[in-house]
Structure 1
Amino acid sequence: MTYDLHPMLATLTDKPFDDPDWIFETKWDGFRAVAVAAPGQAALYSRNGNDISKKYPAICEALAAIKKEAVLDGEVVALDAHGRSRFQLLQNAGRESARLLYCVFDLLYLDGQDLRAWPLLRRKEALEKVLPKSPLLLYSAHVTGDGLKAFTKAKRAQEEGVIAKLASSPYLSGKRTRDWLKVKASQEQEVVIVGFTKPRGSRNCFGALLLAVRDGKRWKYAGRVGAGFSEKSLREIYAKLVPLITRAKPIDKKVPSEANTTWVKPKLVAEIKFTEWTAGGEMRHPVFLGLRTDKPASEVIREVPKSLRVVKSSP
């Protein structure tokens, strides 16, 4: 049987809500991954279809304990000492002692049967029964109706936010739908690296990264980030930037210190945490969280929350 492994995507909205017809789950801060599992074997695939099984062999081994053939949707995360998922920790999870976990929230196929047309809650009931018991696997629990309480709890715990899902929703592979909504407790944005500045003082490799988002057929400048790097990450990112150096400037906007800037081809995607957008479309107080390998640069656009009133009133 041929499986559609493109994950269903959520629409960003501007505020949490209560609704008895919706369920609310933790918004995990990691890599989205679809698993294809059968007794004795399992594989993980990223959002853009790459096989990432070799990066997470322990998770694949845990999934291989499944009793039936299944396709699962979830998020690979790394937990901090307080049990919170942190994208920064995931960057070094393959080399350091971060606690890895595959948080599973949906079941798409089971023993050759396509379950995607089933209501979400029915799929989750089947998922909870089939998911192997392992410290590396977690069934993503939910609450029904109490979205405001779930969001407040997530914010107090310094988690990324909540995902709201219509309890009766089918699974629409590869579609960004309004049946699934995400509400963020903090501002984060995926961006593409288009250049870097020379380092100053005792800093090595580079000073700051210049960032952009896709705007139609061009790249729109989104600011620069110089915070959030370790000596190790500076070296690793610089090694990825060097092969991408180009004379062609990827953005139209004139930016400060261009003479001190080296341009690169817009290929590397980064995750940035920040406080707000300026009127000029730049991120204020940006902090680098890590590189993303699960999304192509061509899909990186500025994510603008949609009005909850508009989203929930639309068909």
Structure 2
Amino acid sequence: MSRTTTLPRRLQPMLATLTDAPFDDVGWVFEDKYDGFRMIAKIEGGKVTLYSRNGKIISHSYVEVAKALEGTKGDAVIDGELVALDKDGTSHFQLLQNALRHQATLRYCAFDLMFKDGQDLRGLPLLQRKTQLKAILPRHKLIVFSAHRKTHGTKFFKEVERRGLEGIMAKRGDSIYQSGARTDNWLKIKTSKRQEVVIVGFTAPRRTRPFFGALALALREGNGWRYIGHVGTGFSYQALEELHAKLIKLKASKSPFRSKVKDEAVTTWVRPSLVAEVKFTEWTSKGEMRHPVYLGLRTDKRAKDVVLEHETPHSR
């Protein structure tokens, strides 16, 4: 069970900018890019409150993680990522989708410390914050300190790519923590293209597939919606059934697009409120995703905030 609150600006997570390629730089450190979702942990007087990126209190959904964090030394506000691991110890966003219903190997990967014992640490350099974070984290199997490597981002990226992981994070070693801001002091470098999308419709099922055929996808553009294609792969039977049940409740009378799009005759439109994540190979000349694969729903972002994520070349 979760409820939405308004996270004070000072507790809001700092956001990274997508960049185009890995690099080497003595002033930067490099970490794993975890394939889960952001979680702010507030520990006060031994009580733990867990927040999602969009301000939902989710402590009751992840009681074991909250209990593990009770062992933190003193009061703190920690930034990290909740992940679900496969049998090889690799994090997968898809596994996290079913973590509440089925047994899953959860980990809270802590990578930054915003406050400690009432002291605001956000103005300290990143590496100093990480040193203090490591010192207060409890020794518990559910809690992981996010280690980093200095300077050699290119080599690290190649290792991550070889292992089939999502990518790496690059962070300036002397960067301060800018709550709620997207900054180029933190960069994300992905091994494959991924994008958060908004579901705006579904097509009728074909052949032996039940429930629906494909999802119509959109991004927010100005005050309207931009069509970016359909996704019809990546669904388990359970995902098809559960998504269909959610979509039926969101039926809308008309298309959110100004012009006609593919398969309108067999499309049921829905209110644009469900956010999903997909991976794909490239953008076509029409601005649509080529070979998209559904990864799962995201509950940590509002539909109206889902816009095209541009790769920003890093000045090296």
- The bucket for the TM-score relative to the shorter chain is over 0.9
Report the counterpart of residue 142 of structure 1 in structure 2: 148
Aligned mate of 2:293, from 276, 287, 294: 287
**1:74 alignment partner in structure 2:** 80
Q: Does 1:152 align with 2:150?
A: no
| C-alpha displacement of 1:41 | 1.9
Specify the SS of the correspondent of 1:307.
coil
After TM superposition, give the deviation of residue 217 of structure 1 in Å.
Answer: 1.3
Q: Indicate the larger mover: 107-116 or 93-102.
A: 93-102
Partners of 1:5 and 1:49 within 8 A in 2: no
The whole-number CA distance in structure 1 between the counterparts of 2:44 and 2:69 is 8
How far apart are 1:4 and its partner, in Å? 2.2
1:152-172 CA-partner distances (Å, limit 9, x unpaired): 111111111010000000000
Give the deviation of 1:65 after TM superposition: 1.3
Displacement of 1:39 in angstroms is 5.0
Give the match's secondary structure for 1:262.
strand
Cα distance per residue 1:235-260 (max 9 Å; x no partner) = 11111111211112112231222110
- What is the TM-score when the length of structure 1 is the normalising length? 0.96
The Cα of 1:114 is off from its aligned counterpart by: 0.5
Q: Give, in whole Å, the separation in 1 of the partners of 2:22 and 2:94.
A: 26
Identify which range, 96-105 or 244-253, moves more after superposition. Answer: 244-253
For residues 194 and 295 of structure 1, the distance between their equivalents in structure 2, rounded to whole angstroms, comes to 16
Q: CA deviation at 1:3?
A: 7.4
SS of the residue aligned with 2:169?
strand
What is the identity, as a one-letter code, of the residue corresponding to 2:110? Answer: V
Indicate which of 79, 85, 92 corresponds to 2:91. 85
Contact 2:18 2:309 in 1 (8 A): yes
Instruction: Give the 3-state SS of the residue equivalent to 1:20 in structure 2.
Output: strand
CA–CA separation in structure 2 for the residues paired with 1:39 and 1:66? 10
Q: In the TM superposition, what is the alpha-carbon distance from 1:55 to its structure 2 partner?
A: 1.5
Alpha-carbon displacement from aligned partner over 1:67-121 (angstroms, at most 9, x marks no partner): 2000000000001112111000000011222210000000000010010000000
Look up the SS of the partner of 1:21 in the other structure.
strand
Contact 1:116-1:172 within 8 A present in 2 as well = yes
Count of equivalent residues: 309
3-state SS in 2 of match to 1:183: strand
SS at 1:145 equivalent: strand
Tell me the TM-score normalized by structure 2.
0.96
The equivalences for 1:251-270 within 5 A come to 251-270=257-276
Contact 2:9 2:179 survives alignment (8 Å): no
Q: Does 1:14 align with 2:20?
A: yes
1:268 offset after TM fit, Å? Answer: 0.4
Counterparts of 2:223 and 2:94 in 1: how far apart (Å)? 30
Q: Does 1:45 align with 2:51?
A: yes
Moved more, 137-146 or 234-243: 234-243
- What is the alpha-carbon root mean square deviation over aligned residues? 1.1
- Equivalent residue number for residue 134 of structure 2: 128
Could you list the runs of 5+ residues in structure 2 that have no partner in the other structure?
1-7
Counterpart secondary structure, 1:19: strand
Distance, in Å, in 1 between the alignment partners of 2:257 and 2:94 is: 28
Runs of at least 4 residues off by over 6 Å = none
SS at match of 2:230: strand
Of residues 154, 164, 168 in structure 2, which corresponds to 1:162? 168
Q: Distance in 2 between matches of 1:205 and 1:4?
A: 44
Q: Which amino acid aligns with 1:234?
A: L
Residue type at the aligned position of 1:62 = A
CA spacing shift, 1:234–1:89, aligned 2, 3 Å: same
1:208 to 211, 214, 218: 214
Would you say the 8 A contact 1:120–1:171 is kept in 2?
Answer: yes
Question: Is the contact made by 2:121 and 2:129 (CA closer than 8 Å) also made in structure 1?
Answer: yes
Structure 1 segments unaligned to the other structure (5+ residues): none
Moved more, 16-25 or 3-12: 3-12
One of 77, 85, 96 as aligned partner of 2:102 = 96
Would you say the 8 A contact 1:39–1:66 is kept in 2?
no
Report how far residue 222 of structure 1 moved: 0.7
Please name the residue that 1:188 is paired with: 194
**Aligned pair in 2 of structure 1 residues 220, 94: CA closer, same or farther (>3 Å)?**
same
Asked if the contact 1:38/1:64 (under 8 Å) is kept, the reply is no
